[in-house]
């Protein structure tokens, strides 16, 4: 099948408006006869479910947690971008569009990103109307902060809990519709397959996680909003339950999987402490507004710190290497994530790491305390303040901005970050890759949509901070409700989709067989055993820096682990009850396939771009020596993989990317 992105004709700034003017609409009376399934209730699924229900469709929404409010969007800390230009610092829709395309290292689809920028302002209006308590200045207007990779302040935030507040906004909009009966909410339910009838997505098979019952649900269209697949690395900043199952299952039923190797390794996470580690915790990127990143300049100092013989505060200013400021003077500590992560790895690989494992760098707020403290002393008219007074005043400001993050850090590491710098290290955080969708957000299966982090669309090879929340809400509140209506206008006479058909029968049987297999396998190793092994291969060989030899080896190793998994996995308990190990087994089975495709995709992409760094593709000389080298001649495409059985047999389809409105440039943050 040839890929058709269905991007409308016309100048980029008019495409979306023109599109909306010409689509088919469904009249309100007919919407009542149309059912839509939304799997996932994060920012993407939650906003979609609420809006579709409000428009009059009958929505069935699914989440594996016990409430829509607990989707992992809740954990987003730093903020959400919007081109409001409230700061008057030269922002505009075009600039947001430009920054996002550039930040994504020119591997995203221009038209989608422009649309995203166009609706970004509406998101903020919408959220404020819902009562989202964004941070404000003393004049009562909305406050903004900066994020990495851009030169304007366009990030709206609610303390360090922006995702929580935005999701609770969605959740409240959903509750309003649940109360009206327009959304039927299925908590503690996991989608285990999609059902296709005559080539169209017409329903899902889901497991009730409390009773173990396998259920059939039908609809006229199915929306997948199940988040990212970062847990393929075992350790990530994702929630324990975050998974790729829904996305992978639809891939197996015909939805192409795009750019699986584009994964974001976030530079500021709390380093791991031991083998028992179950997840990694993010320290928001917003901290890079005020924190400075450094390691000791001298190797002997680094060694002494690793052995616990020196403390960071013992290192004199002149003996510190603020390596981001040194290497990238224009952006300094605010370079994009991929650049900051690789720079940290480079220093640690060279032996300059600052904890016992040698895998950590400092994030230091000392100079911010002084900067803010001095300002506060002026504001409060304190004459000749002492250093201690200044520090205290400055700490107060930092606390008001990031208090919850500092507290989170202290609880995990048992060190007070107001007194000693934080230790941070990169960790898997976000997946730019995902299910391929066209301009309508429809996958390669008719009537099957994919939104939010689960799709591939807007972030290219690297996502800029604060743009995932924007994308999730844009998709759900403002894009999908139009595009899906255009599709459903053909379905007004279809009537209810029956579930007692061979298609549902067959899909249900497949799901049940797999569950029975796990229960009866009686192997000798736990699910986590395999997940951890997969994670190690992914981190070591398909992590921040990749090469042909390791990627080839990774593919073989993952396949081996997968085969062993199917022979030897052990799942206690039974199918007809709440069974946490069984849930995990199904998810890890899918990760074990996705991981191999991920490595294959990384192998095929013989260029460095965004989060994907190929050691074979670096600049050899000039100012950019050693930096990633993109190859626009050969690789300016989206790789969309078609499932053919074994992951290694997947077939590559290319969506060539055209840049009509932005000139392709080397990304320089120097």
Ligand X SMILES: Cc1cc2nc3c(=O)[nH]c(=O)nc-3n(C[C@H](O)[C@H](O)[C@H](O)COP(=O)(O)OP(=O)(O)OC[C@H]3O[C@@H](n4cnc5c(N)ncnc54)[C@H](O)[C@@H]3O)c2cc1C
45 lines the binding site for ligand X (CB under 6 A): yes
List the x/- string, 289-328, binding to other proteins by CB under 8 A: ----------------------------------------
Specify the stretch interacting with ligand X by CB under 6 A; choose among 76-84, 399-407, 506-514, 610-618. 76-84
Residue 465's nearest CA partner among 12, 175, 139, 80 is 80
Q: Using CB atoms within 10 A of its CB, is residue 647 exposed (0-12), middle (13-18) or buried (19+)? A: buried
72 lines the binding site for ligand X (CB under 6 A): yes
Q: What residues from 527 to 556 belong to the interface with ligand X (CB under 6 A)? A: none
CB 63 within 8 A of CB 41: yes
- Which residues have CB under 8 Å from 53's CB, separation 6+? 59, 174, 177, 180, 182, 183
Instruction: Using CB under 6 A, pick the residue from 30, 65, 208, 501 that binds ligand X.
Output: 65
Helices within 569-608 (DSSP H only): 580-604
CB 188 within 8 A of CB 33: no
Listing DSSP states for 399-455 in one string gives HHHHHHHHHHHHHHH-S-TTTS-EEEEEEEEEE--EE---TTSB-SSBTEEE-GGGB
178 lines the binding site for other proteins (CB under 8 A): yes
Q: What residues from 590 to 649 belong to the interface with other proteins (CB under 8 A)? A: none
CB 669 within 8 A of CB 649: no
Specify the stretch interacting with ligand X by CB under 6 A; choose among 66-74, 299-307, 556-564, 608-616. 66-74
Give the count of beta carbons closer than 10 Å to the beta carbon of residue 130.
17
Q: Among the options 202, 337, 562, 614, which is catalytic?
A: 337
243 binds, options ligand X, other proteins, none, Cβ within 5 to 8 A by partner type: ligand X
- Which residue in this structure is represented by tokens 């166009």? 118
414 binds, options other proteins, ligand X, none, Cβ within 5 to 8 A by partner type: other proteins
Q: What residues from 243 to 272 belong to the interface with ligand X (CB under 6 A)? A: 243, 245-246
431 binds, options other proteins, ligand X, none, Cβ within 5 to 8 A by partner type: none
Q: What residues from 107 to 166 belong to the interface with other proteins (CB under 8 A)? A: 119, 122, 124-131, 133-142, 158-159, 161, 164-165
Specify the stretch interacting with ligand X by CB under 6 A; choose among 241-249, 540-548, 590-598, 602-610. 241-249
Instruction: Using CB under 8 A, pick the residue from 570, 575, 648, 664 that binds other proteins.
Output: 570
191 lines the binding site for ligand X (CB under 6 A): yes
- Report which DSSP code applies to 609: B
How many angstroms from the chain centroid is the CA of residue 85? 25
416 lines the binding site for other proteins (CB under 8 A): no
Q: Which residues pair with 422 in a beta bridge?
A: 363
- Which residues have CB under 8 Å from 154's CB, separation 6+? 81, 82, 83, 84, 85, 87, 91, 96, 144, 146
25 lines the binding site for other proteins (CB under 8 A): no
92 lines the binding site for other proteins (CB under 8 A): no
Q: Using CB atoms within 10 A of its CB, is residue 188 exposed (0-12), middle (13-18) or buried (19+)? A: middle
Q: What residues from 218 to 277 belong to the interface with other proteins (CB under 8 A)? A: 239-241, 273-274, 276-277
190 binds, options ligand X, other proteins, none, Cβ within 5 to 8 A by partner type: ligand X
- Binding residues for other proteins, total number by CB under 8 A: 77
Q: Does residue 337 carry a catalytic annotation?
A: yes
Instruction: Using CB under 6 A, pick the residue from 79, 291, 426, 485 that binds ligand X.
Output: 79
Instruction: Using CB under 6 A, pick the residue from 38, 43, 527, 538 that binds ligand X.
Output: 43
Angle between helices 527-541 and 548-568 (to 10 degrees): 180
Q: How far is CA 158 from CA 179, 401, 404, in A?
A: 27, 9, 11
Q: Which residue is nearest to ligand X (CB)?
A: 42
C-alpha–C-alpha distance, residues 218 and 215, integer Å: 10
CB 196 within 8 A of CB 204: no
Specify the stretch interacting with other proteins by CB under 8 A; choose among 406-414, 421-429, 444-452, 545-553. 406-414
Q: What residues from 279 to 298 belong to the interface with ligand X (CB under 6 A)? A: 282
Instruction: Using CB under 8 A, pick the residue from 39, 173, 398, 469 that binds other proteins.
Output: 173
We find the least distance from the C-beta atom of residue 152 to other proteins, in angstroms, to be 17
127 lines the binding site for ligand X (CB under 6 A): no
Q: Which two tokens stand for residue 154?
A: 């366009």
CB 265 within 8 A of CB 337: yes
Q: Using CB atoms within 10 A of its CB, is residue 129 exposed (0-12), middle (13-18) or buried (19+)? A: exposed
We find the least distance from the C-beta atom of residue 302 to other proteins, in angstroms, to be 22
237 lines the binding site for ligand X (CB under 6 A): yes
76 lines the binding site for ligand X (CB under 6 A): yes
We find the least distance from the C-beta atom of residue 104 to ligand X, in angstroms, to be 14
Instruction: Using CB under 8 A, pick the residue from 172, 420, 501, 666 that binds other proteins.
Output: 172
Nearer to other proteins, 229 or 613 (CB): 229
Give the count of beta carbons closer than 10 Å to the beta carbon of residue 633.
7
Q: What residues from 446 to 485 belong to the interface with other proteins (CB under 8 A)? A: 477-478
70 lines the binding site for other proteins (CB under 8 A): yes
Query: What is the CA angle 429-434-435, rounded to 5?
Result: 160
First to last CA, the chain: 43
Specify the stretch interacting with ligand X by CB under 6 A; choose among 215-223, 226-234, 347-355, 655-663. 226-234
We find the least distance from the C-beta atom of residue 569 to other proteins, in angstroms, to be 11
176 binds, options ligand X, other proteins, none, Cβ within 5 to 8 A by partner type: other proteins
Q: Which two tokens stand for residue 428?
A: 């898997």
581 lines the binding site for other proteins (CB under 8 A): yes
User: Within 13 Å and on the Cβ side, how many CA atoms surround 530?
Assistant: 31
Instruction: Using CB under 6 A, pick the residue from 452, 543, 595, 610 that binds ligand X.
Output: 452
| Helix (H) / strand (E) containing 625 | none
138 binds, options ligand X, other proteins, none, Cβ within 5 to 8 A by partner type: other proteins
- Which residues have CB under 8 Å from 13's CB, separation 6+? 93, 94, 114, 118
Nearer to ligand X, 240 or 652 (CB): 240
We find the least distance from the C-beta atom of residue 534 to other proteins, in angstroms, to be 16
We find the least distance from the C-beta atom of residue 434 to ligand X, in angstroms, to be 9
Name the residues that contact ligand X, by CB under 6 A.
39-45, 62-65, 71-73, 75-80, 162-163, 190-191, 225-228, 237-238, 242-243, 245-246, 282, 429-430, 452-454, 466-469, 472
Catalytic residues: 337
């Amino acid at each position: 099948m040839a890929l058709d992105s269905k991007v409308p004709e016309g100048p980029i700034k008019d495409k979306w408006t023109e599109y909306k003017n010409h689509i088919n609409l469904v009249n309100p009376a007919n919407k009542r006869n149309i059912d839509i399934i939304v799997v996932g209730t994060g920012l993407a699924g939650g906003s979609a479910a609420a809006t579709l229900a409000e428009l009059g469709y009958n929505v069935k929404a699914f989440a594996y947690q016990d409430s829509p409010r607990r989707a992992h969007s809740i954990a987003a800390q730093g903020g959400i971008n919007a081109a409001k230009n409230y700061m008057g610092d030269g922002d505009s829709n075009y600039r947001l569009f430009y920054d996002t395309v550039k930040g994504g290292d020119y591997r995203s689809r221009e038209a989608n990103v422009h649309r995203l920028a166009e609706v970004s302002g509406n998101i903020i209006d919408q959220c404020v109307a819902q009562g989202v308590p964004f941070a404000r200045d003393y004049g009562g207007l909305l406050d903004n902060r900066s994020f990495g990779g851009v030169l304007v302040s366009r990030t709206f935030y609610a303390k360090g809990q922006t995702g929580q507040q935005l999701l609770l906004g969605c959740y409240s909009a959903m509750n309003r519709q649940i109360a009206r009966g327009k959304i039927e909410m299925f908590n503690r339910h996991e989608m285990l397959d999609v059902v296709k009838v005559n080539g169209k997505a017409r329903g899902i098979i889901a497991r009730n996680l409390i009773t173990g019952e396998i259920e059939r649900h039908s609809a006229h269209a199915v929306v997948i909003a199940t988040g990212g697949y970062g847990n393929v690395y075992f350790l990530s900043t994702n929630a324990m339950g975050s998974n790729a199952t829904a996305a992978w299952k639809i891939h197996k039923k015909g939805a192409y999987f795009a750019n699986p190797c584009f994964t974001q390794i976030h530079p500021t996470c709390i380093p791991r402490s031991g083998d028992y580690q179950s997840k990694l915790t993010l320290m928001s990127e917003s901290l890079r507004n005020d924190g400075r990143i450094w390691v000791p300049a001298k190797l002997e100092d680094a060694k002494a710190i690793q052995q616990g013989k020196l403390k960071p505060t013992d290192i004199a200013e002149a003996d510190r290497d603020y390596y981001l400021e040194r290497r990238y003077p224009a952006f300094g500590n605010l370079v994009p994530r991929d650049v900051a992560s690789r720079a940290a790895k480079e220093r640690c690989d060279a032996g300059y790491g600052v904890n016992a494992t040698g895998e950590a760098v400092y994030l230091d707020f000392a100079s911010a305390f002084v900067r803010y403290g001095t300002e506060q002393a002026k504001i409060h008219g304190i004459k000749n303040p002492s250093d201690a007074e200044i520090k205290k005043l400055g700490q107060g400001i930092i606390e008001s901005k990031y208090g919850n993050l500092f507290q989170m850090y202290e609880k995990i590491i048992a060190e007070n970050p107001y007194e000693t710098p934080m230790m941070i290290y990169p960790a898997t955080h976000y997946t730019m890759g995902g299910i391929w969708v066209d301009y309508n957000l429809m996958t390669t299966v008719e009537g099957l949509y994919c939104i939010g982090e689960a799709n591939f669309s807007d972030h290219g090879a690297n996502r800029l901070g604060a743009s995932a929340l924007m994308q999730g809400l844009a998709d759900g509140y403002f894009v999908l409700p139009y595009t899906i209506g255009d599709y459903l206008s053909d379905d007004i006479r279809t009537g209810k989709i029956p579930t007692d058909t061979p298609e549902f029968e067959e899909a249900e049987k497949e799901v049940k067989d797999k569950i029975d297999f796990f229960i009866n396998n009686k192997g000798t190793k736990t699910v986590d055993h395999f997940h951890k092994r997969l994670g190690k291969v992914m981190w070591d060989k398909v992590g921040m820096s990749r090469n042909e030899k390791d990627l080839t080896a990774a593919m073989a190793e993952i396949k081996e682990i997968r085969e062993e998994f199917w022979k030897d996995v052990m799942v206690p308990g039974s199918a007809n009850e709440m069974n946490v190990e069984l849930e995990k087994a199904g998810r890890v089975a899918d990760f074990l396939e996705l991981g191999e495709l991920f490595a294959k995709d990384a192998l095929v992409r013989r260029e460095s771009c965004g989060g994907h760094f190929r050691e074979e593709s670096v600049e050899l000389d000039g100012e950019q020596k050693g930096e990633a080298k993109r190859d626009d001649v050969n690789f300016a495409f989206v790789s969309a993989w078609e499932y053919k059985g074994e992951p290694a047999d997947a077939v590559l389809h290319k969506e060539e990317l055209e840049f009509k409105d932005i000139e392709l440039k080397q990304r320089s943050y120097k």
